[in-house]
Structure formats: structure tokens, C-alpha cells
């Protein structure tokens, strides 16, 4: 297993975030916002600079996190075209970064989860998008139509697009109130398709807390992933801040200082805890 962190959980200054990750023994950075610029607005030149800065520090790009399909369910052709444009651009951006994948969502849910309807609209959005070796991973998203692995599997079966994988974020399943114990049953259900894991620790649906102080048995999860031969990234998405709690708008739009403030100290503490769990 390899350790990474989403950079804007630490600092909007990429160098400061990267140095913190390297000092904690992490090998990768999952790229989201940089310098108060949201991921889908990063220019080619900025992306090239990001890749060079990380490479100079011996860090890999562990993934790219645009808000792909993180919109309401499309209702019109214009909605479909707008959603497709973000995915097409994200693939171009990932290629420049050298990112192995981009994560995608399954649209914000309106009421209860509707993975089959989301799959129908996702097919319209993704039809004809040139991936060129960049993988698409469907996240168990907190406010989307697939907050659990069970729902992601229904989505994947219905969307019927070869090569899609799962980005497992069990913290989202808990925080969404959809499954207070996504491990081990949900993990076992989808483990063959899990290609990336986001690490954060919820206290029910109230707040995210310091890694190890919440509802998820991360030690047991890490041990099981190791025993099963998982060779992907464990990517810390801290979401915990010392002295404040992120609100829904900040979690929906996780970029810029409004989101990042207070993340450095909290993330360094959680990185040390995650490194201890993996190294024990």
C-alpha cells in the first residue's frame, strides 16, 4: 500500500503541502485545488508546474479530483454537455499531471439514492469521452446517488461502461447516514473493484474527527487491505480541522482557503497516525 494525501487538505501552497507529506513518509499527492484555484480551472501550464514540483520532491501524483458529475442530475441536453465538458477537460488535465485516474461522482441525489437513473444519465455524459488510458473511478460520494458500495455496484452494472472502478470512501457512507458500518461487509462486496481508498474518520453524521477517534476501525481496514494484497493508494482526505467544523458548502466545494484553513496541523497529525497504522 502507498500513502498519499489530497493536497488542499494541508495547504493551498503546493510546496508546503508536499513537504509536509514527504516529511511524514508519504509517497504521493492527490491533486485537487492549488493556490486557491479549483481543480477544474487549473491551466495546462499550472498543471505542468504542479507535476514538476511533485517530481522534484520524489512524490507521485496519486490521482486527480475534479468535480466530475458532481452536479444535479442532468435534465436537458445543455446539462449533459456541461457535465461532459468537465469530464473531457479532466481527462486532459490528468494526462498532463500523469495522474493514474480521475474520480467521478454519480450526481447529487434528490431524495433517496437513484443509482439506475444516475447510470442512465452518466452513459449520456460519458458516451464518446476519449479516456486514453486514464481510469475513471466512481466514488462512494456522501451526497450522491451512490454513497455505499452496494449502490455503486448497482450503478456500475447499469451503466455498463468497461473499465470503471471504485474509489472507496467509507467515511462518506457513515457520514451520509446510509451505512454506519461499511466495513467489513461492504468492503467484501466490492473489494475486487476497489482501486483507490480515501481515508477520513467520521463521528456519525455530525463531524469528521482526528483519524482514529471516529467510527471507522481504520486499523482493521488497513490490516485487511494488506492481507488481501491491496497495492493501491490510501489517500488521506482529512476533513478534520482543529477548532472548527467544515460546513456542507465547504465539503461540497473543497477548495480555496475557506476550506483549507486549519488543515495543516490537523492533516500532519492524521498523516502521522495513518503512517503508524500502516507501519505497525
Q: Does 280 have pLDDT greater than 90? A: no
Q: Please report, for residues 13, 31, 162, 179, 242, the alpha-carbon distance to residue 42 in angstroms, rounded to integers and kept in the order given.
A: 14, 10, 28, 35, 28
Burial class of residue 162 (count of CB atoms within 10 Å of its CB; 0-12, 13-18, 19+): exposed
Task: Quote the pLDDT of residue 132.
Answer: 82
Task: Say if pTM beats, i.e. exceeds, 0.95.
Answer: yes
Q: Percent of the chain, pLDDT > 90?
A: 98
Enclosing H/E stretch for 165: strand 165-168
Residue 206 has pLDDT above 80, yes or no: yes
Please measure the distance between the N-terminal and C-terminal CA atoms of the chain and give it in whole angstroms. 13
C-alpha cell of residue 245: 467544523
Distance, CA of 42 to CA of 12 (rounded, Å)? 13
Please say whether the beta carbons of 174 and 183 come within 8 A.
no
Q: Which helix (H) or strand (E) holds 137?
A: strand 135-139
Band (53; pLDDT cuts 50, 70, 90): very high
Residue 5 confidence (pLDDT) above 90: yes
Averaged confidence pLDDT in the chain:
97
- Average pLDDT over every residue of 15-43: 98
The reported pLDDT for the residue numbered 147 is 98
Average pLDDT of span 231-254: 96
171: confidence class by pLDDT, cuts 50, 70, 90: very high
State residue 242's pLDDT score: 94
**Has residue 265 got a pLDDT over 90?**
yes
What is the mean predicted confidence (pLDDT) over 132-144?
95
Amino acid at each position: 500500500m502507498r500513502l498519499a494525501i489530497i493536497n488542499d487538505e494541508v495547504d493551498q501552497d503546493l510546496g508546503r503541502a508536499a513537504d509536509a507529506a514527504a516529511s511524514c513518509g508519504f509517497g504521493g499527492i492527490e491533486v485537487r485545488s492549488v493556490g486557491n484555484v479549483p481543480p477544474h480551472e487549473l491551466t495546462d501550464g499550472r498543471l505542468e508546474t504542479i507535476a514538476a514540483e511533485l517530481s522534484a520532491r520524489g512524490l507521485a501524483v496519486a490521482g486527480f479530483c475534479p468535480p466530475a458529475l458532481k452536479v444535479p442530475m442532468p435534465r436537458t441536453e445543455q446539462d449533459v454537455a456541461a457535465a461532459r465538458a468537465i469530464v473531457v477537460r479532466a481527462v486532459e488535465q490528468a494526462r498532463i499531471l500523469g495522474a493514474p485516474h480521475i474520480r467521478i461522482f454519480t450526481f447529487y441525489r434528490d431524495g433517496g439514492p437513484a443509482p439506475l437513473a444516475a447510470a442512465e444519465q452518466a452513459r449520456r455524459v460519458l458516451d464518446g469521452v476519449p479516456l486514453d488510458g486514464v481510469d475513471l473511478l466512481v466514488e462512494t460520494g456522501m451526497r450522491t446517488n451512490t454513497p455505499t458500495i452496494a449502490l455503486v455496484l448497482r450503478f456500475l452494472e447499469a451503466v455498463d461502461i468497461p473499465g470503471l472502478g471504485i474509489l472507496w470512501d467509507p467515511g462518506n457512507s457513515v457520514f451520509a447516514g446510509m451505512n454506519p458500518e461499511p466495513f467489513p461487509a461492504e468492503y467484501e462486496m466490492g473489494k475486487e473493484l476497489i482501486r483507490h481508498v480515501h481515508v477520513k474518520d467520521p463521528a456519525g453524521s455530525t463531524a469528521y474527527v482526528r483519524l482514529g477517534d471516529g467510527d471507522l476501525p481504520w486499523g482493521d481496514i488497513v490490516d485487511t487491505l494488506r492481507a488481501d494484497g491491496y497495492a493501491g493508494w490510501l489517500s488521506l482526505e482529512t476533513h478534520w480541522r482543529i477548532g472548527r467544523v467544515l460546513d456542507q458548502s465547504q465539503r461540497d466545494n473543497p477548495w480555496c482557503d475557506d476550506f483549507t484553513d486549519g488543515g495543516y496541523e490537523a492533516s500532519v497529525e492524521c498523516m502521522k497516525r495513518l503512517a503508524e497504522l500502516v507501519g505497525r
